[in-house]
Structures are given as structure tokens and as C-alpha cells.
Amino acid sequence: MRANTAEQWLQQRIQKYGPISKLSLFGKPTVFIHGKDANKFVFTSDSSTLSSSLLESVKKLLGDRCLLELGGQDHKRVRDALGLFLKPESLKSYVGKMDEEVLPLMKTLTFNIICALLFGIERGARREKLVDWFQEMIEGMWSIPINLPFTRYNRSLQASASIRNMMKDLIGEKRRELAKKGVNPQKDLISCMLSTRDENNEK
């Protein structure tokens, strides 16, 4: 068990004691059952024969009325509610809400991948600044092009300048890194482009 070999441990126990045996699990007397008949017994027995019971240590964390502890009519009521919640007609109505949650995350995920693979910018303050500047630049891209302080277009221009300055600093860092031996020139697109030579063998 300690070596993360639970399945092997269970098979050894079955071979030694058979499909039904008694053991102590975290200090609590427990009956271990295995096989098709055991599965049938568990899934066909009602609450008067078999009921769910958590370890006391787990019960203290989850509470006496947690879903895993419910039985009888309480369990049936929750199961019926879950059935209504998960029926196909209901799931269709959740798609819009799911899109609202997922799409912003997908945009962030895509930008983070671009930062990592194209620019080689790791997670941290620099990437967060780039995200903010990029959003500011995009928001002003389709605004009225009036370059006055506090206008959206002016903020977009400032963000664009900040991005270019960051890229210049980043290119300088990549060049210094490539000058060192043992640095992988294909770790990101900028490094790859900087290490590429033309037909005259010039960078």
C-alpha cells in the first residue's frame, strides 16, 4: 500500500484469505468482499441490509449530512434531484452558461501558450504585464483614432509601445542566452529565429 501497489496488495489478500475477509481499516473493523456476487450484493441491497458509512475522521471533515453518508429516503431524494439536473433537456440549457465560463479561460490559455512557445516568457509579472498591455491594445484597435490623453486610442498606443519595448528587451536577452554554450536555440520561436542563418551564413 505504501509503495502505491494497492491493486497488487488486494490480489495477494484475495489469494491468501479468499473473496471475503475481515480487516482493520484505519483502526475501524471492515469487511472486504470481492467478485461478481459481491458487486451484486452491494448494488441490489437496500438500506436495511447495507448502508454507507464513512470513517469517523472523514465524517468530521465532510459532516454527518454529506452526500456520501445519505441513505434511504434522503438518498433517493438527492438521486432524483440529480437525475432531473443531469437529464438531456437540462444539460442543453447549461451549454450557454458553460460557454460563458470556458471561453474566457480558453482565451487566457491560448495567450499563455503563445507566451511560452513563441516568446519564451514564463509565468510571472512579465507575462501578466504583457496580457494587460495586449488587452489594452486590442480594445483601442477599433476605437475612434483620436490621440488625446485619456482616450482609448491613446491608451492603446501606449500599450503597443510598451509591448514593443518588452519585445526589444526580450530579444536582447535571447541573444545573450544564445551566445552561451549549451542553450537550446529551438526552445521558443524568437530563439529559433535569432539562431537561423541566411544563405550567406549570416544571422
Arithmetic mean of pLDDT, 176-188: 84
Query: Of 94, 144, 134, 140, which is closest to residue 114 (Cα–Cα)?
Result: 134
Count the alpha carbons within 13 Å of 180 in the hemisphere toward its beta carbon.
7
Q: How far is CA 40 from the centre of its chain?
A: 36
Model pLDDT, residue 198:
53
What global pTM score does this model have? 0.54
CB atoms within 10 A of CB 174: 22
13 in any annotated domain: yes
Could you give phi then psi for residue 33, rounded to 5 degrees? -125, 145
pLDDT for 10: 85
Number of domains making up the chain = 2
Within a domain: 90: no
Residue 113 domain-assigned?
Answer: no
Q: Within a domain: residue 143? A: yes
Report which of residues 78 and 126 the model is more confident about: 126
131 lies in some domain = yes
pLDDT at 202 over 80: no
Is 51 part of any domain?
A: no
How far are the Cα atoms of 3, 9, 10, 31, 167 from residue 16, in angstroms, in the given order? Answer: 20, 11, 10, 15, 66
Tens digit of each residue's pLDDT (9 = 90 or more) over 138-161: 988 888 888 998 899 999 999 999
Q: Which three-class secondary structure string do you get for the chain?
A: CCCCCHHHHHHHHHHHHCCEEEEEECCEEEEEECCHHHHHHHHHCCCCCCCCCCCHHHHHHHCCCCHHHCCHHHHHHHHHHHHHHCCHHHHHHHHHHHHHHHHHHHHHHHHHHHHHHHHCCCCCHHHHHHHHHHHHHHHHHCCCCCCCCCCHHHHHHHHHHHHHHHHHHHHHHHHHHHHCCCCCCCCCHHHHHHHCCCCCCCC
Determine, yes or no, domain membership for 85. Answer: no
Regarding predicted confidence, which is higher, 196 or 173? 173
Range of the domain at 18: 1-44
Flag whether 36 is in a domain.
yes
